[in-house]
Structures are given as C-alpha cells and as structure tokens.
C-alpha cells in the first residue's frame, strides 16, 4: 500500500501494518515519540491497522492531537491510582483538555492535598511498572454486564447510549485497570515521565446542576521534566497575573454576591474601558463605519424571526410586559437588522458598515463564571456589514486587516480558525457552501494560514475566529467574522440593485475585542497590570519629598493635566521611599520626584515602573516625550 506522509513523501509499506509499525520502520526515534496517528485527517490510535492507500500523519507531543493522546493516557493512569488507593471511588469521565486532563470521581468526601500526594506517588509506581495499553471491543450486552458487575453506574449510563445505537463498545486495559474509552492512547504508560496534579474542584455529572456533584482532579503531563517545570513556572506566573486579583489591587473592577456574573467597573476601570472604546471609535470612523445603538430588550416575535428563540432561548433572560414575551438581547444583530430595514437602500449605498457597542446578557451557569473572562453581561464591540455578493471578499479582507492592526498594537500573536456548518444550522446547503467559500477565498488571497474547525460555525453561518496568544503563551478566542445569508432572508432585508430590482443583501457579523470586559481581563493578565502609557488609568504620579514643595508639585500636576495626561499628586506626609513603593505597586508608568534641586532647576526626577530611575529631565521635555508615547500608543 502507498502511504503519503507529512510533507507529501510517498512510501510503500506492506498492507496490514499498524501505524506504530510504520513509525518504527521510518525511524526508532519517531516510534518512541509517537503518541497517535491521523489517517486522511481522522485522529486514531497507533494500534490502527492500515490496509489501503492513505495519507498518514504520525503525531508526537509537538502536535495538538498528540498531546491529547498523551494527556488522555495520563488521566487513565490517575484513575488507576485512585482505584488502587480508594476502591470505592466511582469512575465518571477523564478527557484531555487544554493544557492537560481531568478525571471526575464520585467519592464520599472530596480529595485533600494529602490524598493528591498519595495519588501522585501511586501514579509514579504505575508508570514504573510500564504497562502496555491494550484495546478490546465488547458487544453492548457484554459491556453492560461487565460494568454493572463492577458497580460503575456512570460508565453504565455512557455504555447504554452506545448500546442504544447497537454499537460495539471499546475499552482500554493497563494492568489490572480497564476503562470504557474510545481512545486514542499511547502504546504504554512508560513515556509519562513528568506529571503534576494541579487542582481539585467540584463538577456536576454531565454539567447538569440537577445531577450529583463529583470530585474533579486536574493535572498535566509532559515527556520531559524540564517541560513540566517550565509549565509550572508559567502557572505560578499566571497566578500572580490573575486579573481578579490585580483588578481588586489596582481598583479596576469588582464582583459581588449581589450580582454574580455582572461586573462593576470602578473609576480607574472605567478610564481603561473608555480608552479602549475611544480607540475603537477612532479606527472604525477611519474605516467608514457608522455607529448605532439598539434597545436592550425586544419582543419575542423579533427573536423568533431571528431564530434565537428556537436555537438560543436557554441562554436568554426573558420577561413578560403587557402580556407579551420579551427577551433581553443576547446579541445585537437582530436590532441591527431593524435599523437596516428602516430605510430603503440602493446598491450605491452598499457596503453599509454599522458598529454598535451593545450591552448583551447571556445566562451562564454559575460554575462557569470566571472574573471578567466568563460573565453574564458584557459589551460586545459589534459591527454588521450589509453588502452585495460581489463585495464579500473585499469586506472580509478589510475586517481581517482591522483585527490584525488591533492585535499587533497590543503585541498579541494570533492564529486563525475557519468554522463550518454545525448540526443545528439553518438555511440551504448551497448558501452554506457559498458563504464558506467566500471566507476561504478571502483568507487564501491574504495568504493567511488557517485551520478548518469542522461543524463549529454559528447556526446561521460559517465564521472565522481569531485566537490570540498572550505573554504567557495562552490562547484566547476574541475576534470573529461570521458570514450570514440567513438573517437578511428571515428579516426580508432588501436593496435596489443596478437593474432596478429588489435584491437580498449579505451580512457580516464581526467583533474585534469580542467582549470588552473579557478583553480587559486578558489585557490585565497580558501586561500583569502594568499597562502601556496610553492605556494606564493613572499615567503619572507626582511625588514631592516634603510638604513645603506641595505648591510647586501642584503646579507641575496642573501643567501635566493641561497637556492631556492623567496625573495624580501624592501629597501625604510620608517618606519618599514609601511613596515610590506605593506607586510601584499600583504599576503607574511614571513617577516624578520633586525635591529642592528639581524645583530650583525646573526639572523632575523621573522614575519609570518598567525601567527604574531615568534621572532628571526638564518638565517640558518629559511632557513632550510622554505625550508622544501616548499618541504613538507605544507598548
């Protein structure tokens, strides 16, 4: 059989060889590092036997799906250790996730830190024992019998779902332990040299708060200890940068029991938020967008027309007014449709680019809430572009360039994913194909690398998602471009074409920041609270070394304010070292220290949060440099 390897290299192998055997034949190094395979794009087990010509990728820990096989296997090692130490623990699920894995257990009392240490020690023993993983299949009735005899009710529930479809059920065994699992897994447990159980949390079975609360153990693993150590260092750094902690310390926002998932922005946080919004308005005005504002609450008929009532109602807050159902908007787009329809448009008007900074509300489960990253109300920096089919490619390119400009400004790298038609989609296959090809064409013409994310589009159209990478290497999905043929059709939106006939426009939904609240959370952690000068809520603090210099310090403050800088004066009767430490903890970009010498010479002693002591500078020169730094939006 002919096997096309990564890079297009075509090699012949005997039919009936497993992926593991092929890896071994290519090189022992590849075999030792192999975690899984991908045959014609489908991820599978290294035990998979090949009989026909195909494309084959042998996945190592360097590839995402290779990592997942490695982490999934480690979750089984953890479950084996738990069952050895706590035989009465019931097994639920244990998947690979971003940056590691977890396993859910039903136990009488949650695991303690001491328990976690014991589990890690037992895991080390299991890895040393070097078990091979063996896959075996059972008919549904035998699988159910086996799991019922083991007293594993959660596994029985999962197996019944396969049994109802008449499917054979797959298991993996390592030593005395076996688990209901589709895989893929490593060939043996031996490569799992470095791992760490990182935290314990509660989790409802299947995410349903009406089900029993389980105990979830999170962990991660790497082939090399150095990689684990580096990851744990990043984790510690992430704790220091936690936006919830810094948000409180820097007086940016607060979260209360009275409004779970509804953040309060404090004065300094509002400066940060408004600065981002001012920048958003500036670049959107430049790019020919007009700004609108639509109501926060609209009636049921609108949401039925848009499709949200049928496809998104469980995430919407609803109420009844004058015997009519209303919903608080979870999205801005239906309101934008009404604005478009309020006027008859000509083809000469298109494209129309309408921006909206709309406050939206979505019901998130309490367990999913996380600071500003996952909230129940947030400001979406939406825009909706109405256009003709001939304008699709140029408009998408324009949005991509805008998003690229914004992310580069903040120093973010990013990667792009194209998400295609989901199972709950609306509209014809032809419309979906046209929309998807329109997005692909724009990305291809811009020579942007992208990954296709099958089946993850919005219910009304395919989308391009931008996943930015922060200073710790973590990724966040923020910007998105969604091409929509369905909403203009549902709302019967029209324009008069060059032929004098009525035509249906095509619509782009897009965001750059995504959620402004979430983007602020990302920025706090990206910059560790030490914002660049143009974003900092407080840009300069004046620090007189004694009370007799207060008048002079106040004059400097007014001079800075007149130049448009955000400045404060620390007029407390405290030692200058204390004042500097306080300003440093508040991560203020510049401290201006004013003593007798500075007062006589018309200078200020400049101290930078980032670079330390910069020496004495004439006040006019400092103002000139500071204003240029703000104007240039220097990072």
Catalytic site includes residue 382: yes
Cα 233 to its chain centre, rounded Å, is: 21
In the set 181, 333, 377, 478, the catalytic residue is 333
In the set 76, 329, 374, 463, the catalytic residue is 463
**Strands 567-569 and 540-544: what pairing?**
parallel
Dist CA 194 CA 175 (whole Å): 20
Catalytic site includes residue 308: no
- Give the list of residues 6+ apart from residue 525 with CB closer than 8 angstroms, or none: 238, 241, 242, 243, 246, 470, 472
CB atoms within 10 A of CB 264: 11
pLDDT confidence band for 100 (50 / 70 / 90) = very high
**Number of residues that this document lists for the chain:** 635
Alpha-helical regions (H) of 250-297: 267-286
Q: What's the pLDDT score for residue 94?
A: 94
Q: What's the pLDDT score for residue 629?
A: 96
Whether 470 has a pLDDT exceeding 90, the answer reads no
End-to-end CA distance of the chain: 55
Dist CA 251 CA 259 (whole Å): 18
Whether 424 has a pLDDT exceeding 90, the answer reads no
Dist CA 194 CA 100 (whole Å): 12
In the set 47, 361, 509, 587, the catalytic residue is 509
Beta-bridge partner residues of 301? none
Catalytic site includes residue 362: yes
Dist CA 583 CA 569 (whole Å): 11
Question: What are the phi and psi torsion angles at 389 (to 5°)?
Answer: -55, -35
In the set 104, 179, 382, 484, the catalytic residue is 382
Alpha-helical regions (H) of 296-391: 300-306, 308-311, 333-341
Is residue 516 within 8 A of residue 379, CB to CB? The reply is yes
Q: Is the peptide bond before 184 cis (omega within 30 degrees of 0)?
A: yes
Dist CA 631 CA 608 (whole Å): 18
pLDDT confidence band for 555 (50 / 70 / 90) = very high
In the set 68, 362, 421, 557, the catalytic residue is 362
**Helix 516-526 and helix 267-286, axial crossing angle in degrees, nearest 10:** 110
Lowest mean pLDDT among 245-254, 307-316, 393-402: 307-316
Catalytic site includes residue 584: no
Nearest to 102 by CA among 234, 4, 211, 198: 198
Kindly report the pTM of this predicted structure.
Answer: 0.82
Q: What's the pLDDT score for residue 173?
A: 96
- Give the list of residues 6+ apart from residue 612 with CB closer than 8 angstroms, or none: none
**Helix 140-150 and helix 153-164, axial crossing angle in degrees, nearest 10:** 170
> Which domains are assigned to the chain?
2-60 (3.10.20.30), 65-240 (3.30.980.10), 256-297+330-526 (3.30.930.10), 540-631 (3.40.50.800)
Dist CA 59 CA 110 (whole Å): 36
Q: Running DSSP on this structure, what letter comes out for residue 188?
A: B
pLDDT per residue over 170-223, tens digit each?
A: 999 999 999 999 889 999 999 999 999 999 999 889 888 889 999 999 999 999
In the set 384, 557, 587, 609, the catalytic residue is 384
- Give the list of residues 6+ apart from residue 306 with CB closer than 8 angstroms, or none: 333, 334, 337, 487, 490, 491
In the set 80, 380, 391, 586, the catalytic residue is 380
Q: Running DSSP on this structure, what letter comes out for residue 485?
A: S
Catalytic site includes residue 243: no
Beta-bridge partner residues of 222? 194
Whether 311 has a pLDDT exceeding 80, the answer reads yes
Q: Buried b / exposed e across 50-88, counting CB within 10 Å, b at 16+?
A: beeeeebbbbbbebebbbbbbbbbbbbbbbbbbbbebee
């Amino acid at each position: 059989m002919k096997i096309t390897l990564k890079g297009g290299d075509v090699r012949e192998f005997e039919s009936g060889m497993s992926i593991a055997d092929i890896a071994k034949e290519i090189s022992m190094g590849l075999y030792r590092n192999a975690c899984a395979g991908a045959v014609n794009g489908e991820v599978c087990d290294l035990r998979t036997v090949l009989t026909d010509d195909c494309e084959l990728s042998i996945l190592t820990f360097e590839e995402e799906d290779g990592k997942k096989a490695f982490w999934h296997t480690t979750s089984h090692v953890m479950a084996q250790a738990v069952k050895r130490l706590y035989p009465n623990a019931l097994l639920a699920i244990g998947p690979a996730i971003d940056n590691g894995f977890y396993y859910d257990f039903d136990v009488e009392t949650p695991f303690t830190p001491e328990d976690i240490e014991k589990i890690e020690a037992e895991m080390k023993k299991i890895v040393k024992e070097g078990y091979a993983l063996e896959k075996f299949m059972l008919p549904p009735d035998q699988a159910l019998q086996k799991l019922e005899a083991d007293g594993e009710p959660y596994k029985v529930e999962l197996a019944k779902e396969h049994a109802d479809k008449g499917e054979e059920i797959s298991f993996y065994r390592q030593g005395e332990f076996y688990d209901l699992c589709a895989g893929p897994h490593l060939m043996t447990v031996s490569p799992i040299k470095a791992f760490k159980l990182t935290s314990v949390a509660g989790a409802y079975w299947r995410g349903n708060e009406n089900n029993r609360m389980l105990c979830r153990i999170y962990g991660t693993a790497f082939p090399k200890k150095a990689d684990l150590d580096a990851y744990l260092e990043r984790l510690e750094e992430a704790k220091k940068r936690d936006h919830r902690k810094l948000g409180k310390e820097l007086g940016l926002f607060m979260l209360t029991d009275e409004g779970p998932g509804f953040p309060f922005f404090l004065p300094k946080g509002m400066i940060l938020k408004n600065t981002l919004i001012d920048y958003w308005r500036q670049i959107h005005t430049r790019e020919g967008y007009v700004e609108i504002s639509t109501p926060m609450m609209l009636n049921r008929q609108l949401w039925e027309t848009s499709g949200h009532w049928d496809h998104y109602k469980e995430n919407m807050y609803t109420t009844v007014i004058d015997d009519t159902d209303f919903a608080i908007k979870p999205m801005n787009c239906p309101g934008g449709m009404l604005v478009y329809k309020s006027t008859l448009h000509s083809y000469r008007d298109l494209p129309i680019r309408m921006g909206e900074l709309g406050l939206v509300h979505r019901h998130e489960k309490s367990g999913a809430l996380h600071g500003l990253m996952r909230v129940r109300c947030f400001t979406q920096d939406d825009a909706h572009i109405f256009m003709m089919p001939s304008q699709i490619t140029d408009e998408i390119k324009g949005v991509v360039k805008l998003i690229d400009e914004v992310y580069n400004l903040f120093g973010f790298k990013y990667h792009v994913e194209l998400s295609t038609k989901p199972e709950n989609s609306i509209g014809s296959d032809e419309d979906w194909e046209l929309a998807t090809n329109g997005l692909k064409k724009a990305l291809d013409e811009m020579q942007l690398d992208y990954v296709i994310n099958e089946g993850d589009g919005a219910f009304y159209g395919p989308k391009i998602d931008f996943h930015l990478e922060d200073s710790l290497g973590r990724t966040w999905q923020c910007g998105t471009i969604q091409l929509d043929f369905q909403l203009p059709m549902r709302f019967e939106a029209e324009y008069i074409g060059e032929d004098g006939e009525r035509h249906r426009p095509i619509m782009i939904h897009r965001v750059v920041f995504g959620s402004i609240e979430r983007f602020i959370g990302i920025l706090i952690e990206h910059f560790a609270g030490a914002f660049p000068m143009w974003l900092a809520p407080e840009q300069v603090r004046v620090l007189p070394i004694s009370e007799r210099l207060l008048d002079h310090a106040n004059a400097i403050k007014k001079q800075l304010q007149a130049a448009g800088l955000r400045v404060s004066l620390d007029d407390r009767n405290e030692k200058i070292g204390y004042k500097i430490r306080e300003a440093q903890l508040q991560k203020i970009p510049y401290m201006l220290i004013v003593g007798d010498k500075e007062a006589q010479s018309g200078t200020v002693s400049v101290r930078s949060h980032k670079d330390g002591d910069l020496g004495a500078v004439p006040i006019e020169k400092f103002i000139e440099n500071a204003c240029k730094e703000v104007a240039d939006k220097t990072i």
